[in-house]
Structure 1
Amino acid sequence: MAEKGIFAGLPWWVQWVAVPVVVLVVFGSLIMSVLGFVIGLLFKALLLVVLVGGLIFVVKKFTSSSSSRGDW
């Protein structure tokens, strides 16, 4: 298999080890900040869903108990 391009004639480890390491060193902080932002956003969205669900549960529980109490 003859590869034509920038990696032609170089050992396999250059393409599969050295280049990804260089990319991680150069762009590592950017990748980590984007990853941290996405994880933080997912956590906040999950927290929002839990809080809204809990609020709806509490409101329904109190409104159903107060309407049944109002019948006496």
Structure 2
Amino acid sequence: MDKQTCENHITVLKKVRGACDSQLDVGVKAELDAVIEALERFEPHHGADRAMKLVERALRIIAVIVKIMTNIGGWM
């Protein structure tokens, strides 16, 4: 993951946090903040494995937020 991609992920996650803050519980907020912090510390030389773990973690937290915001669980 290059530096620009990482910065884009950080920007999007911060916007999501700002837009959804009042609907998120403490655990989700903490995980979201932890993912943002990890992305802010990430350097391209850390390697592809670490980058993929961060991307996976970010996608998991986004999935949780989407489920909360849309109540998609109730449709299934």
TM over 0.5: no
- State TM-score, norm by structure 2: 0.35
Larger radius of gyration: 1
Is the helix fraction higher in 1 or 2? 2
